[in-house]
């Protein structure tokens, strides 16, 4: 699957398949334009055996947070279901208060079904299951 992008106000979701040393999985990158370049605020890297997400994944401030499927169930669903309410707080935690304050929650709610559908399609196409 080629990368698919979904714009929601000042953020864009980029969904793609991953094929790495960790196996086959799905990436959902949450991007924003800042100072004429694209900045990754958060990224979900979903692999069957080690789902996790990152704050500031493309910087030296990268912080990886593991997700425990035994506790939360389907970690992809868990992560994506929280984005519409939690993204402003997560952007603050990532050190981007300007982005957090400008996030349009209505736009997020509008695109999340498409983001979720693309992520689940990518998961099926790469053959990975949780």
Residue 29 within a domain: yes
Looking only at the bridges linking them, the beta strands covering 4-8 and 11-20 are: antiparallel
**Rounded distance between C-alpha atoms, residue 96 and residue 48, angstroms:** 30
| pLDDT tens sequence across 34-86 | 657 899 999 999 988 889 999 999 889 899 999 998 999 889 999 999 999 89
For residue 100, give its domain range.
4-124
For residue 127, pLDDT over 90 is answered with no
DSSP 34-61: ETTEEEEEEEEEE-SS--EEEESTTSTT
Calculate what percentage of the chain has a pLDDT beyond 70.
96
Mean pLDDT of 4-27: 92
Is 20 contained in some domain?
Answer: yes
pLDDT reported for residue 43: 95
Model pTM? 0.91
Query: Is 98 among the domain residues?
Result: yes
């Amino acid at each position: 699957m080629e990368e698919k992008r979904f714009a929601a106000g000042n953020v864009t979701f980029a969904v793609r398949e991953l094929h790495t040393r960790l196996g086959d999985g799905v990436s959902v990158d949450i991007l924003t334009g800042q100072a004429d370049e694209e900045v990754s605020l958060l990224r979900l890297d979903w692999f069957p055996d080690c789902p996790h997400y990152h704050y500031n994944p493309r910087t030296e401030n990268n912080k990886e947070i593991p997700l425990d499927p035994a506790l939360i169930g389907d970690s992809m669903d868990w992560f994506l279901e929280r984005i519409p309410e939690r993204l402003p707080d997560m952007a603050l935690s990532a050190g981007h208060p300007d982005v957090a304050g400008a996030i349009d929650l209505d736009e997020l709610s509008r695109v999340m079904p498409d983001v979720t559908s693309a992520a689940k399609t990518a998961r099926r196409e790469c053959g990975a299951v949780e």
